Amino acid sequence: IDPTQYIRQIIRNVPDWPKPGVTFRDITPVLQDPRSFRVLIDLFVYRYMGQKLDLVAGVDARGFIVGSVLAYELNLGFVPVRKKGKLPFNTVAEEYSLEYGNASVEMHTDSVRPGQRVLLIDDLIATGGTLLAAARLLQRLGANVVEAAAIIDLPELGGSKAVTDSGLSVYTVCS
């Protein structure tokens, strides 16, 4: 079986969560199953080894899980892109809009040095708002965002297109 298909079939669709009418793509079974966890990380390793990256930036919270393992495998550092109010040192923030209201992501001001080549990673792209805000944050810190990656794309929500239209390269394992 094809590795992408293997992962796709293990992702669990949870109807009506977090609210009626929404189907949540749950990646916890992919992490729980040792074979799909390894295949998932290996797909990212295969894509990014030799890309002369400096850092992996993972988005709170599922982006931490895949991002930190990937960074370790590629011998890179890991930096967190966190939800508002979680980081203890000096921070920069970027806001993005949700269906109702706003949210923001934060990074430590010293988490990236200008010119560093950074891979940005999260578990899923829906509207793209989260990854776009994270990319703006990294760019404000002077990073060269080499690619924005995720496990799952929901193309019907237009997020991967929006991220691509902003000038960023996008990679997702499956949709």
Question: What positions carry a catalytic annotation?
Answer: 62, 99
SS3 150: strand
Listed residue (171, 42, 57) closest to 116, CA to CA = 57
Q: Which stretch binds ligand 5GP (CB under 6 A): 111-119, 127-135, 141-149, 164-172?
A: 127-135
Q: Does 128 bind ligand 5GP (CB under 6 A)?
A: yes
**C-beta closer to ligand 5GP: residue 104 or 127:** 127
Residue from 55, 57, 121, 125 binding ligand 5GP (CB under 6 A): 125
Listed residue (48, 30, 44, 62) closest to 131, CA to CA = 62
Which residues within the stretch 58-77 sit at the binding site for ligand 5GP (CB under 6 A)? Answer: 59, 62
What six digits make up the tokens of 136? 């703006």
Q: Identify whether the C-beta of residue 62 lies closer than 8 Å to the C-beta of residue 37.
A: no
**C-beta closer to ligand 5GP: residue 142 or 155:** 155
Report the C-alpha gap between 88 and 54 in whole angstroms: 23
Residues forming contacts to ligand 5GP in the complex (CB under 6 A) are: 24-25, 27, 59, 62, 122-130, 159
